[in-house]
Structure 1
């Protein structure tokens, strides 16, 4: 009897445990999700604390330092201290052009190398153009030839002499003979005019064919340096596909993003001293050439460009420079070098 009761009790306990199993699993799942959320927010708070620790000193006011950095002026957002009117930028070419052929073809000759200085109009690249050269030569021969005009003039002279002979015959000449002579002379006049018109057309055709031949060549559009060759001999290029890059380094441009409050006192034509960050290059004078009318909303800066004389070609493009927009910088610019007009 006691064994039966014990078995019955065990069965009840087992039944109760089985009935509570779904609730227990649900509780464990909820606890696991809560643990994941706690760990996630712990990571977020740790990252936020690290960021705040880095950025807080830059954002804190002078009264928040609690004695730290005493006597050191607070820096502005761009790293300048109050009263510092120097702005860092870089040099850029006055002009930069990607030169391309106006015709499709295969590159036959490269007449320049990278870094070579060239003059405006210099021949840089030639494409294969044997067929076009033949067409141009035919057009040249037709344009230079006046044989059709000479022949038409001889025929006209003969017809006019014949008409004069018939007229001199007077009444003895038949009416039809006189009419035919007059018609023949008029025909020869028209033929001469037509020959002259064809010769004018031949001249125009020759000019056109020479233009097409020239489109198989690439010439320098300004004085400068070949900064890059985009293709090589033997490669086929499509119409207007870039072949090389030409840059003009005299004058150079110093491009800076000037804080808006500082740019308010800058005007076109003002002259300032431009100092390379690398001391191997001496400072030079720069004249303000461009002041953007648009303020960058994110940085609150204005694009300013200064023109710098670089006749000796010593300053490269891409050089890091600092422009001193202070009064001292303006006065020092007069002795810092010449500016190309």
Structure 2
């Protein structure tokens, strides 16, 4: 029996539709085969999915199982395809009502543990934004995501978010035995209001000239170089700068959260980034770490500091190649990462604050 399950693949800050086709054949040697340009983590899903299904109290079919992740030319990586593959296997083997599972308005996304529970999975906010776009084009979409990451998608209006704790709970919901309560939408404006800054400039005593320079830089969107001997408070002043910048607007908070969601830097249960980012990389950082990169390009420090502050302590110790690489993001406010497998673009509009010591 063949069933088709909807999921998504995150490419940069965009979510692309992926169709998980699961076929449980009556003939052929027992085993599971995954095709469709799957990465190493997706290949390893064979054992995770099989064990999770068994430990959840369901029967794993001892037949030939073929799973195709379409489109075949789009790279897929990560553990987010565990849930759609498990649901597809259970539906194809008759343990879930296949007519409900295969509805085009349902999207499944999440990584399975061996006991059948769902782990926090990065990129859930992008899934919610993709579902909202689908809801605008067609009927309202519903997404089934891990309960620890469901708050990310709950900030997106116009979609149905179902927080799933484990595979057995989802099967009961799809079979109509015990429905899962839909997660209510979380208004972004209320989440970001009345945020207390992590470091308050009012608590800094003295250094009036430096504080005035900090205020002017924050008001005009200027970059800043702090020069002085060790122990004079350069790092403390830099950490206080996000607190005097205007609070994040709702659209800005969503834009920053997209970057942190795809990077996997949101804590389980966290819904949105409420403060302006402050990033302080060590001077041993590489160009790829600063700008972004990898076989599946991820955001670098310049993108993680988007709409916030990028602090370079001991600026003179950074490699020249890293400092030269900052030129284009500082001019354009965006950074493009080109790899053989993908070409992605990340926002990188930040305020640069650097600190140096005088020569001995």
**Pairwise same-fold verdict (TM > 0.5):** no
- Structure 1 length-normalised TM: 0.20
- Structure 2 length-normalised TM: 0.19
Higher relative contact order (CA 8 A, sep 6+): 1
Which one has a bigger Cα radius of gyration? 1
